[in-house]
């Protein structure tokens, strides 16, 4: 984190792009129910590399190359990993958009004939909502279908 002086003379830590990438990777690890599942999806034999970057005591930064590979592998969109993780939490909840995300995730799951546990379904809706907000309220159906196929 970079130090930033406030007008009161105190110093606050400003997150770097590496901090954003680490937090976003941790969120992906949680969404994939652990580092091993995510590592396998990304083509790694085990979770060691993911844990080195996103574990409780990280020893490695999430590099530009690794961030772009994760985005491409999970179809997250360029520079998704560089975004501030809390950006969605700072905006007011759009209940109409959330309703549409629940409806669309349900429909895609029915179309693909897949069922998820309530927790995993909630994670998919959250991911769909987060992506829709990041895309100006546009829900990308093709991307959602890929995410759901990846999650099965």
Q: What average pLDDT does the segment 73-97 reach?
A: 76
Dihedral sign (CA 78, 101, 23, 49): negative
Using CA atoms, how far apart are residues 89 and 101, in angstroms rounded to an integer?
17
pLDDT tens per residue across span 121-139:
888 888 888 888 777 888 8
Q: CA–CA separation, 104 vs 150, rounded Å?
A: 17
C-beta separation of 75 from 146 below 8 A: yes
pLDDT tier at 42, thresholds 50, 70, 90: very high
Contact indicator for 129, 90 with CB cutoff of 8 Å: no
pLDDT tens digit sequence for 107-123? 999 998 989 888 888 88
Whole-prediction pTM: 0.53
The domain ranges of the chain are 2-86, 91-151
Handedness of CA 113, 119, 124, 128 (dihedral sign): positive
The pLDDT of residue 140 is: 83
- The mean predicted confidence, pLDDT, of the chain is 84
């Amino acid at each position: 984190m970079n130090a930033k002086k406030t007008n009161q003379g105190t110093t606050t830590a400003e997150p770097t792009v590496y901090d954003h990438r680490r937090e976003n990777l941790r969120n992906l690890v949680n969404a994939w129910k652990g580092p091993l599942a995510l590592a396998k999806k990304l083509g790694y034999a085990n979770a060691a590399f993911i844990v080195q970057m996103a574990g409780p005591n990280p020893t490695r930064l999430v590099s530009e190359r690794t961030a772009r590979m994760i985005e491409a592998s999970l179809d997250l969109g360029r520079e998704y990993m560089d975004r501030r993780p809390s950006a969605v939490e700072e905006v007011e909840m759009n209940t109409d958009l959330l309703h549409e995300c629940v409806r669309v995730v349900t429909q895609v799951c029915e179309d693909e004939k897949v069922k998820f546990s309530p927790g995993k379904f909630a994670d998919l809706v959250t991911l769909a909502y987060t992506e829709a907000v990041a895309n100006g309220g546009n829900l990308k159906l093709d991307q959602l279908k890929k995410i759901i196929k990846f999650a099965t």
